[in-house]
């Protein structure tokens, strides 16, 4: 056989060999990493600059076409899909906050009815089980531990039977709750000692919330902007951090706590605590398989406060990349077989002003004024003495409790054309329209807007009128630091598309062209760990788990 034919044969079989890469061995530790507001657009923009954990994970099985395929692109719904295998329609987590249809009062996604304490949080509102629950059912010796800067992120990853669930509570440090998991000394001593050490360290030597200057790779993005009526220099460090570590009440001061969450100090803090928990609980060295969930929140806070197109996000991407690298190095040191999955709860768009400056049509929308105007028009048209529509989110409106069926029908008939006539609105759908759509299956890239809403719909908790604002819209009018200048929550792909990455020691890198969904992660990890999974919306990914899918 000639060298040419040998080369031709080799080129023909190489793709088949790559596609048949062996799955990871049964792990002693499963690691689920979430990066809040880590859009596929952000990942694609910065992936060439990563040198730490994100670079390593990108060398595994990396799905560029990853989706939070539903419409409810917020933190709580997105996290609820990752380890349940269910869309928000199945988890019941339709938003960060929804309206109780009986009382008209907002319900926080991880709140506990009848308990109003700052740390009274748990998974009681989550209607689905998680990978951690399946693991505990299969073997009580399997352990489940989750950590995040946000309570809703840690709790949604943990599920109902976790061994330890931690989140950062401003002024206190990392905390837990008996509603989220055990609050025994074995759990709380780890966080209490860490908090005391960190607060003492900060008191002795105030930490730098941001680098002293932007690295060279980010300096070109350090430009002044005005978002709404709020002007900022765009420089690193942001001018708003000056003085927040002064005063006798530091580090518990509200000014410092506000800045901490949207700074480059927050994710390393989560990573450092995760390392302490790994050591303290000897994760990976138990009698069964352990699950560690870590959700990094700072990308979301930075994105909201500064947008994702400036030097602030450029610096933050370097920081989270390094933090994930240190976390993976810590896990390497355990010398146990492990597998990692990474994704995001949702994407985002940059602030409308900067999107427009960069050539992408965008607008800033005062959604609150639109809802006020709509209610005023409905009161006048229908001779009502009260606003007929309420909502925690302008994207989703509810009938005021006590509205009779005839009036509700009249409100809908008048509200839909009024909203559709607004130039800021792309489309409007009603509860009846969404309920009439069958639950979609398959390709997330081709879902209609109604199908995206259907994947987010829960009859008990969802609203009555759903508003899709124009693409790339920034909702709200920022006036001061702390106001959101950019965000997410729309039905559009920039909020739905997220990276989905799998990595394990010895992985053969692959970049599947097929789309994957975050609901595919749990059944895939369950197959790798030989954990029985209940019927879910997602599917085991054969490009990751190979022949173990379907066993």
Per-residue confidence (pLDDT) for residue 25, from 0 to 100: 84
pLDDT digits (tens, 9 = 90+) for 162-178: 999 999 999 899 999 99
Per-residue confidence (pLDDT) for residue 218, from 0 to 100: 97
Tokens of 402: 């006590």
Per-residue confidence (pLDDT) for residue 249, from 0 to 100: 87
Between CA 75 and CA 97 the distance in angstroms is 10
* Domain ranges, ordered by start, for the chain: 29-358+493-548, 364-469
Which positions ≥6 away from 250 have C-beta within 8 Å?
202, 203, 206, 244, 256
Domain 29-358+493-548 in CATH 3.40.720.10: yes
Q: How many residues does the chain have?
A: 551
Between CA 262 and CA 41 the distance in angstroms is 20
Per-residue confidence (pLDDT) for residue 10, from 0 to 100: 36
Overall fold of domain 364-469: Gyrase A; domain 2 (3.30.1360)
Which positions ≥6 away from 16 have C-beta within 8 Å?
none
Between CA 288 and CA 11 the distance in angstroms is 42
**497 in Cβ contact with 41 (< 8 Å):** yes
pLDDT-based confidence at residue 547 (cuts at 50, 70, 90): confident
| Identical fold between 29-358+493-548 and 364-469 | no
Which positions ≥6 away from 448 have C-beta within 8 Å?
none
Between CA 244 and CA 304 the distance in angstroms is 20
pLDDT digits (tens, 9 = 90+) for 96-140: 999 999 999 999 999 999 999 989 999 999 999 999 999 999 999
Residue 7 has pLDDT above 50, yes or no: no
pLDDT digits (tens, 9 = 90+) for 17-52: 333 356 778 999 999 999 999 999 999 999 999 999
Per-residue confidence (pLDDT) for residue 194, from 0 to 100: 98
Residues paired with 167 in a beta bridge: 148, 175
Per-residue confidence (pLDDT) for residue 316, from 0 to 100: 98
3-class DSSP state of 167: strand
Mean pLDDT in the chain? 94
End-to-end CA distance of the chain: 41
**What are the backbone angles phi and psi of residue 451, rounded to the nearest 5°?**
-65, -35
pLDDT-based confidence at residue 4 (cuts at 50, 70, 90): very low
Active site residues: 75
Per-residue confidence (pLDDT) for residue 264, from 0 to 100: 97
pLDDT digits (tens, 9 = 90+) for 427-481: 999 999 999 999 998 799 999 999 999 999 999 999 999 999 999 999 999 999 8
Between CA 229 and CA 475 the distance in angstroms is 14
Per-residue confidence (pLDDT) for residue 455, from 0 to 100: 98
Full-model pTM: 0.95
pLDDT-based confidence at residue 241 (cuts at 50, 70, 90): confident
Angle between helices 405-420 and 367-382 (to 10 degrees): 130
Average pLDDT over every residue of 309-325: 98
pLDDT-based confidence at residue 3 (cuts at 50, 70, 90): very low
Peptide bond into 129 cis (omega under 30): no
Per-residue confidence (pLDDT) for residue 22, from 0 to 100: 67
Peptide bond into 375 cis (omega under 30): no
Q: Give the residue, 248 or 186, on which the prediction is more confident.
A: 186
pLDDT digits (tens, 9 = 90+) for 247-299: 888 998 888 988 999 999 999 999 999 999 999 999 999 999 999 999 999 99
Following CA atoms 128, 494, 363, 491 in sequence, which dihedral angle do they give, to the nearest 10 degrees? -40
Per-residue confidence (pLDDT) for residue 551, from 0 to 100: 55
Between CA 43 and CA 511 the distance in angstroms is 14
């Amino acid at each position: 056989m000639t060298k040419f034919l040998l080369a031709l044969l080799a080129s023909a079989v190489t793709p088949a060999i790559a596609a048949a890469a062996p799955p990871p061995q049964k792990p002693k530790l499963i690691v689920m990493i979430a990066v809040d507001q880590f859009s596929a657009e952000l990942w694609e923009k910065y992936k060439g600059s990563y040198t730490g954990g994100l670079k390593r994970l990108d060398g595994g099985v990396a799905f560029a076409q990853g989706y939070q395929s539903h419409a409810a692109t917020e933190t709580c719904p997105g996290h609820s899909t990752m380890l349940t295998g269910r869309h928000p329609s199945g988890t019941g987590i339709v938003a960060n906050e929804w309206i109780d249809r009986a009382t008209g009062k907002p319900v926080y996604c991880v709140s506990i009815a009848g308990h109003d304490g700052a740390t009274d949080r748990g998974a009681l509102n989550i209607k689905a089980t998680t990978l951690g629950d399946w693991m505990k059912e299969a073997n009580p010796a399997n352990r489940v531990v989750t950590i995040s800067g946000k309570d809703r992120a840690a709790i949604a990853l943990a599920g109902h039977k976790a061994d330890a669930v931690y989140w950062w509570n401003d002024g206190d440090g990392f905390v837990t709750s008996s509603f989220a998991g055990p609050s025994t000394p074995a759990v709380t001593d780890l966080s209490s000692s860490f908090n005391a050490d960190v607060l003492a360290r900060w008191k002795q030597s105030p930490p730098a919330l941001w680098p002293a200057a932007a690295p060279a790779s980010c300096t070109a993005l350090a430009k002044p902007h005005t978002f709404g009526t709020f002007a900022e220099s765009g420089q690193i460090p942001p001018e708003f951090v000056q003085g927040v570590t002064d005063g006798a009440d530091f580090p518990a001061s509200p000014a410092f706590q506000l800045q901490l969450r949207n700074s480059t100090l927050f994710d390393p803090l989560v990573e450092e605590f995760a390392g302490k928990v790994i050591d303290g609980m000897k994760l990976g060295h138990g009698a069964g398989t352990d699950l560690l969930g870590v959700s990094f929140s700072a990308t979301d806070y930075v994105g909201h406060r500064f947008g994702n197109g400036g030097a602030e996000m450029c610096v933050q991407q370097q920081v989270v990349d390094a933090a994930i690298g240190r976390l993976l190095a810590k896990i390497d040191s355990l010398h146990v077989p492990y597998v990692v999955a990474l994704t995001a709860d949702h994407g985002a768009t940059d602030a409308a002003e900067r999107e427009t400056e960069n050539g992408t049509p965008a607008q800033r929308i005062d959604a609150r004024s639109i809802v006020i105007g709509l209610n005023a028009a409905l009161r006048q048209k229908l001779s009502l003495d009260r606003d007929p529509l309420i909502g925690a989110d302008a994207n989703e409106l509810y009938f005021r409790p006590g509205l009779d069926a005839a009036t509700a029908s009249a409100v809908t008939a008048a509200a839909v054309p009024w909203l559709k006539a607004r130039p800021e609105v792309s489309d409007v759908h009603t509860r009846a329209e969404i309920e009439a759509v069958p639950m979609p299956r398959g390709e997330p890239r081709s879902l209609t807007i109604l199908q995206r809403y259907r994947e987010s719909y829960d009859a008990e908790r969802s609203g009555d009128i759903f508003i899709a604002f124009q693409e790339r819209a920034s909702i709200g009018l920022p006036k001061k630091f702390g106001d959101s200048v950019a965000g997410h929550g729309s039905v559009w792909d920039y909020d739905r598309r997220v990276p989905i990455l799998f990595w394990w020691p010895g992985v053969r890198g692959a970049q599947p062209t097929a789309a994957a969904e975050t609901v595919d992660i749990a059944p895939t990890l369950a197959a790798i760990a030989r954990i029985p999974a209940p019927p879910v919306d997602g599917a085991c990914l054969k490009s990751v788990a190979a022949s173990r899918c379907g066993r």
